[in-house]
């Protein structure tokens, strides 16, 4: 069993760590520049009492784009598929995550998918709640349930740092508001979105969320559905087609596991009917994925035959 292979996992992480020197920290959100680029951690959860974890396992980090999977789950539960997909598409894009180009050229002007920033902003606008705080509270409660960790909060410093510099996300939002994708107050929406992205987790938390998504959305112990089955399937499908930015195709070939990464260096992976994996390595490759995290997932997939294809 992979979770018992602690020594092998520890040696795989040290091998992958050698790649951290070839990556860069995300710097467009100033607070993310403070991370230590040599950090690498891995957690694997198989639904048991404990979660196997190796590397710098005490490090916490912000979800960033990984939160897009969770806001999508909540919006789909709140509004239903028809409403959500009337405002955001289902197609992958070969463009970077914050690109504006297809918003203008695509007709109607709705974002191509919920994993790029434009799509995620539209999805966040569909989370139900009377106030932005209420919506954020609902998202946090959902994450507490998925992880079994009620301590999870958002990192105020990272949220504030992103909000101050989120000019591109502001532009995307104003463009979408003009084209009727949503009608929210843009500053309120950005405030909520940056707090959502700044939710702080450990790699063990990520592995547990990945496990629930992998296993049909069911609560680990009670088996009660936290996410309806058809929505858990939609999440995994977007993770395969759009989860690793504009490297998703290559990742599907080399690794073959539904996964979502974030610019903080986190990666959450879900092996259908199997393991949940959480990785943190803040040094990124040129597409915004954890450089050592990608190597680690590739070696894990080969060694344990984890590809779903
Ligand atoms: N908060 C980040 C942004 O909106 C998330 C991007 C990411 O992780 O890809 O730019």
Q: What percent of the chain has pLDDT over 90?
A: 90
CATH assignment of the domain containing 230? 3.40.710.10
What span, in angstroms and rounded, lies between the C-alpha atoms of 62 and 195? 10
What span, in angstroms and rounded, lies between the C-alpha atoms of 41 and 20? 12
- pLDDT value of position 267: 98
Phi and psi torsions of 280, nearest 5°: -135, 125
Active-site positions? 65, 68, 193, 245, 263
In terms of Cβ atoms closer than 10 Å to its own Cβ (0-12, 13-18, 19+), residue 305 is: exposed
Q: How many residues does the chain have?
A: 309
pLDDT of 100 > 90? The answer is no
Six-digit token pair at 178? 């003009």
Over residues 1-8, mean pLDDT? 90
Residue 62, helix vs strand vs coil? strand
The side-by-side arrangement of strands in the sheet containing 52-55 is: 52-55, 41-45, 276-280, 266-270, 259-261
CATH assignment of the domain containing 166? 1.10.1500.10
Lowest mean pLDDT among 195-204, 215-224, 232-241: 215-224
What span, in angstroms and rounded, lies between the C-alpha atoms of 234 and 308? 16
Based on the domain organization, do 21 and 72 belong to the same domain? no
Based on the domain organization, do 85 and 191 belong to the same domain? yes
Q: Which residues pair with 256 in a beta bridge?
A: none
Q: Kindly give the distance from the C-alpha atom of residue 263 to the centroid of ligand 1, in angstroms, as a whole number.
A: 6
Q: Kindly give the distance from the C-alpha atom of residue 262 to the centroid of ligand 1, in angstroms, as a whole number.
A: 7
- pTM for this predicted structure: 0.97
What span, in angstroms and rounded, lies between the C-alpha atoms of 192 and 131? 10
- pLDDT value of position 257: 98
Q: Which domain holds residue 217?
A: 2-63+201-304
Atom of ligand 1 nearest to the CA of 168: 10
pLDDT tens figures, 23-54: 999 989 999 999 999 999 999 999 998 899 99
Based on the domain organization, do 6 and 88 belong to the same domain? no
* CA-nearest residue, atom 6 of ligand 1: 65
């Amino acid at each position: 069993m992979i979770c018992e292979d602690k020594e092998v996992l520890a040696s795989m992480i040290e091998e992958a760590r050698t790649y951290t020197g070839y990556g860069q920290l995300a710097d467009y959100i100033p607070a993310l520049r403070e991370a230590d680029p040599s950090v690498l951690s891995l957690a694997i959860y198989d639904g048991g009492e404990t979660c196997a974890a190796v590397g710098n396992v005490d490090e916490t980090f912000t979800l960033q784009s990984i939160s897009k999977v969770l806001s999508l789950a909540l919006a789909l539960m709140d509004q239903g598929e028809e409403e959500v997909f009337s405002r955001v598409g289902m197609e992958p894009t070969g463009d970077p995550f914050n690109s504006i180009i297809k918003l203008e050229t695509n007709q109607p002007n709705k974002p191509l998918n919920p994993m790029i920033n434009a799509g995620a902003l539209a999805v966040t606008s569909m989370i139900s709640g009377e106030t932005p705080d209420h919506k954020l509270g609902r998202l946090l409660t959902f994450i507490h349930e998925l992880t079994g960790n009620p301590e999870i909060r958002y990192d105020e410093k990272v949220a504030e740092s992103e909000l101050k510099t989120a000019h591109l996300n502001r532009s995307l939002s104003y463009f979408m508001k003009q084209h009727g994708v949503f009608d929210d107050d843009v500053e309120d929406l950005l405030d909520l979105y940056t707090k959502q992205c700044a939710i702080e987790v450990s790699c063990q938390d990520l592995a547990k969320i990945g496990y629930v998504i992998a296993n049909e959305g069911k609560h680990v112990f009670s088996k009660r559905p936290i996410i309806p089955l058809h929505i858990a399937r939609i999440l995994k499908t977007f993770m395969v087609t759009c989860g690793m930015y504009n490297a998703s195709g290559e990742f599907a070939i080399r690794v073959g596991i539904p996964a979502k990464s974030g610019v903080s260096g986190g990666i959450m992976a879900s092996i259908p009917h199997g393991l949940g994996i959480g990785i943190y390595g803040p040094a990124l490759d040129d597409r915004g994925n954890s450089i050592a995290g990608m190597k680690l997932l590739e070696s894990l997939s080969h060694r344990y035959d984890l590809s779903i294809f």
